[in-house]
Every structure is written in C-alpha cells, then in structure tokens.
Chains A and B, each alone.
Chain A
Amino acid sequence: MLLPALFFITVLIIGPFLLSVWFSFTDQRLVPRPIPTKFIGTTNYERMFADPLFWQAIWNTVFFAVIVTPVQLSMSLGAALILNSAVPFRGFFRSVAILPLLLPMTVIVSIWAVLFRIPSGPFNAVYQWFAGQGNYVDFLGNPSVAMLSIVALSAWATFPYQMLIYLAGLQEIPQDLYEAAKLDGARAWHRFRYVTWPGLRNVNIFLLIITTVGALKLFTQVDILTKGGPNGATTTIIHYLFKRGYANQKVGYASAVAVFFFLAVTAIALFQRRVLKNEGEA
C-alpha cells in the first residue's frame, strides 16, 4: 500500500533532485551529443555567478517578491475584513471576490494584456484623464514599469487565496474579545490593532512565507506577456532557468541555477520562520 506513492516520490522528486545536483557539475545537454557528457567541477557555478543576466534575474525576482507580497497580503486582508463585516449580500460579494482564483493564469494574462494595451487600453484611458490626450504609459514595454505591471496583475490574480485564509483566521478570533473591547470604548482602529492583528499572528506568518515562496517562482505571467523583456527587466530566476535549460538546452548549466534556487528558497523560508517566530515571543 505504501509502495505506489513511494515509487512516485522517489522517481519524480528524489531522483530528479539528485540528478540535478549531479548535472550541475557536468556539461549535460538536453539532446545527446556525439561527445560524451563530462564532469566539469564547479565551472557551471562560476559561469553562473559571472553572468550579469543571472544577477539581474535575481534582482528582478527579489524586487517582485518584496513588492508583491505586502501589496497582495494587504489586498487580501482588506478584502477579508470587508467580507467578514456585516455587509448586505455578503454571499454574493464573496463569490465575486474568489473569481480570479478560479481563472487559469493564462486566461488572466490575456485579459490583462488588453488592460495594458497601448496607446488606448483601459488603464491608459484612465491615465489620459489625468495626463491629457496623447500621453500613455507603456506598461509592458518600459523597463522601469514592466515589473510593477506584473506585480499588479499577479496580486489581482491570486489575492483570493490569501483572502480566504485570512477569513478563516478572522473567524477563529473569539467574538467576546471584540465585545470586551467595545465595552472598553475601543474604536474600530484600536479594535483592529489590539484584537484582530494579534489574533492573526499565526495566519500572517504562514501567509508571508507561502506568498514569498510563491512569488519567487514567478514564471507564467512573464513568459507569456514580456518573455523576460524589455531588456531583461522582467527576467526571473525560473525564466532564466527555463531559457538556459530548455531553449538553449544547457541542462548542466541550468541545473546549477536550479540548485541555487532550491537553496535560496529554503534559506529564505527558514529565515522568515525563525525571525517571525522569535519576534512574537520576545
């Protein structure tokens, strides 16, 4: 009974993991060549650390994660607070709010491609109210705006997931705490600051970690909308890995990137966990 699952885990996770560590020290190609693959030591890692595009991919990925995580979590928490309050038609609003989660990312990307259209897509139509006719923002073609556009799209696309988890967290907070705070004359902001926020501590830690880790894996949006451009402005680590390993067929080199990615993600998740847990206990 145990064997089928163990077989799949071994063949599809543990096996490939060990293989990628091995490949990262070789000049393995995707399609076999007449010359045999050979062990080349740490050459892949040296080349990787010497490639400016690699560093740009890291910077872009970190930039994306650092911006999208707070933006998306605030959206999710705000939406959860609204949907947890006594609004009329709450069921309807809740159904509407989870819609983006149900849409496949590729669908969302094509919808946003219209929103981002230049010179007269919906976003630019709004922009022109303020900036005047003829002006527009090149949301995907301007290197300093492109990643922020991806941030907006991504936050919209996945905020309902965190929203539902916040809603679950809000419902766990005992109602009598709010009653007591009200009796003490605490205003809405104080009730949020001293009852809701501390009550969400574990939820916040969990969401911060999964949202960051998810953000570090950014690929689909970038691959379809910008192909990593303009000028590498939206190249992420996974996109870089995909380009080198799949398009350029340099599996050995891309495996070094994969090993680096694995170590970095694990380190960041452990670091966040440690810092956040300690902060609460101090």
Chain B
Amino acid sequence: MRIPRDVVLPSLFAVILAMGVLLPLMMTLTISLNPNEQDIMVSMGAVRSFIPQVFSLQNYIEVWTDPVHPFARYLANTALITFSTLALSILFNSMAAFVLAQGTLPIRKPVMILVLATLAVPGESLVLPQLMMAGWAGIVDSYEVQIMPGVANAMSIFLFFQFFSRLPKELIEAARIDGFSFFQVYRYVAMPLSKPVISAIAVLQFLEIWNAYLWPVMVTRGPEYRPLSVAMSAYFGTNQAAWGNIMAFAVSMAVPVILFFLILQRQFIASVMSSGIKG
C-alpha cells in the first residue's frame, strides 16, 4: 500500500506535538505512582522517569489523608465556588442582557456602553480596592468573597446580548400576544434557545475560576475556604522535597477536570472556538 506524501509529514509533526504535551504528563503520573522519594530524585530525567515502574497509591493516600491540607475540603470548596459563580453569573447576566437587547427602557444604550466600557478594565488592577471593600463588608475569608467577582462579568452580558438581539422579532411578539409577560418570554422562549451561549460562557468561566489564583490568595486565610489552586501552591511551597506527593496532588486535582471536559469535548471545543470568532 502506498502512503500519500501529504500524510507522512503532518503525521510526524502531530506525533511530535503529542509527545510535547504528553511527556511532561507521563512524568507527572510516573512520579506520583512512585512511593520512593529517593528513587524519584535519582531517576529524574532518565527514561524510566517517564514510564511507571511501580504502581503504588501510597502518595495518593498520603495526599488525601493529610490533616494539614484537607484535599477533600479544597475540592468541595472549589466545586462550590465554581458552580455558584456559574449559576449566578448565567442567571443575572442573561436577565440583564435580555432587558438590554429586547426591553423598552430608554436608558438601554448608555447602560450597554457602560457595561462594554468595563470590559477594558483588567480584573488584576481592581484587587486591592476589592479587598478593602471585602474588609469593610466583613466577608474576607468566605465563599461569598470568592463568588462575587466572577458574577460581575461584562463579557457574559455581551455574549448573551449578541444572541438575544438576533432573536426574531416575530417570535417575541407572538409570545407577548399569547399573554406571556416580559419575564416569561425570557424564561420560556429566550433561555431555552440559548443553550449554545450558556455552554460557551459556562466553559470559559469554568476555566477562569478553576485557574483563579491572585484573588483567592488574597482573600483566603486557611484551609476552610481555600480553593484547590491556592492549596496546590501552598502544598508545593511546603513540601518541596516530597515530589511524589506533590505530583499526586497535581494529578488528583487535574483528573476530574480532564474527565469532565473529555466527556463534553465537542461542546468544549465549539465554545472556545466561538469565543474567538465573536469576541
């Protein structure tokens, strides 16, 4: 059988690309399964540090049962913060976008301009006044303080606005004639149609919150409300010698997200792609 030349070169590059991504991850997995710290140090960089030689869960058990760094608590904190932010952000921002796109309020235009203007402000430049305000409100070191900044999201208003303003006028009018209130049109007509936008916003914001670091570092004091991302770096900072445990922590933190996204891969890719074209 003859292999066409157009396939050989791209395949070769594809393999190099995959190796570039997979080798560090293989190494992570291999180290996390090796209970012998000394062996980890000795074999570091050698070929056998990329292919698991032993399959021990000892590091994992140590990570999950560490009394100073309660992994389960961190995971629960992260999940709670992530899902609350997503739920509130999608609810509030879609409602606002629907009013801005389909409502009759005369101040819609200036409000929209104001919302778009906030897109230009990098979140990083706001953390200090936000921290002061959290102090005045007495909510430093809590879930609320980690949820609220993600809810104020002009990008998600903008994406919903784009979608809602393209809904056919006849559809909205027909629903109004059938006796739907403005809110009911939003709830029973607009929202069921906007699944693609919802999933795009959910995916992008999920990654953002899951990755959040600067803000949670500033507003959490201990394990009680700390999310995984900050816990990972604290763990990394205090266990510099225990690479097996650090890598087991890393794998434990990464696997749930990877599984979640591999299952939803189609929607995930579509979401990121659409964010670029429309952004």
Contact = CB atoms under 8 A, between A and B. Distances in A.
Interface string A95-138: 11111111111110111111101001110111000000000000
Interface residues of A, number: 91
A168 B128 contact: no
A224 B44 contact: no
Interface in B250-264: 250, 253-254, 257-258, 261-262
A86 B269 CA distance: 19
Given A82-B17, A246-B218, A265 B122 contact: yes
Contacts of A126: 45
B201 interface: no
A110 B152 contact: no
Interface stretch (A38-46, A62-70, A255-263): A255-263
B225 to A, nearest CB: 17
Given A82-B13, A102-B254, A114-B27, A254 B128 contact: yes
B148 A8 contact: yes
B65 interface: no
A89 B10 CA distance: 12
Contacts of B14: 82-83, 87, 89-90, 93
A4 B96 contact: yes
Contact of B122 (A5, A124, A217): A217
B86 interface: no
Interface stretch (B53-61, B165-173, B206-214): B206-214
A2 B10 contact: no
A83 B17 CA distance: 10
Interface stretch (A11-19, A52-60, A143-151, A274-282): A11-19
A107 to B, nearest CB: 4
A207 interface: yes
Contacts of A87: 7, 10-11, 14
B232 interface: yes
Interface string A208-222: 001001000101100
A230 interface: no
Q: Is the interface of A mostly helix, strand, loop or mixed?
A: helix
Q: Which of A23, A168, A261, A265 is packed against the most chain B CB atoms within 10 Å? A: A168
A102 B261 contact: yes
A178 interface: no
A102 B258 contact: yes
A181 interface: no
A169 interface: yes
Contact of A106 (B46, B154, B232): B232
A30 interface: yes
Interface in A1-31: 1-2, 4-6, 8-9, 11-17, 19-20, 23, 28, 30
A238 B124 contact: yes
A175 interface: no
B125 A106 contact: no
Contact of A30 (B11, B131, B228): B131
Central interface residue in B111, B211, B279, by most chain A CB within 10 Å: B211
Nearest to A96: B18
A13 B276 contact: no
B113 interface: no
Interface of A: 1-2, 4-6, 8-9, 11-17, 19-20, 23, 28, 30, 78-79, 82-83, 85-90, 93-107, 109-115, 117, 120-122, 124-126, 156, 161, 164-165, 167-169, 172, 203, 206-207, 210, 213, 217, 219-220, 223-224, 238, 241-242, 245-246, 251, 254-255, 258-259, 261-262, 265-266, 269
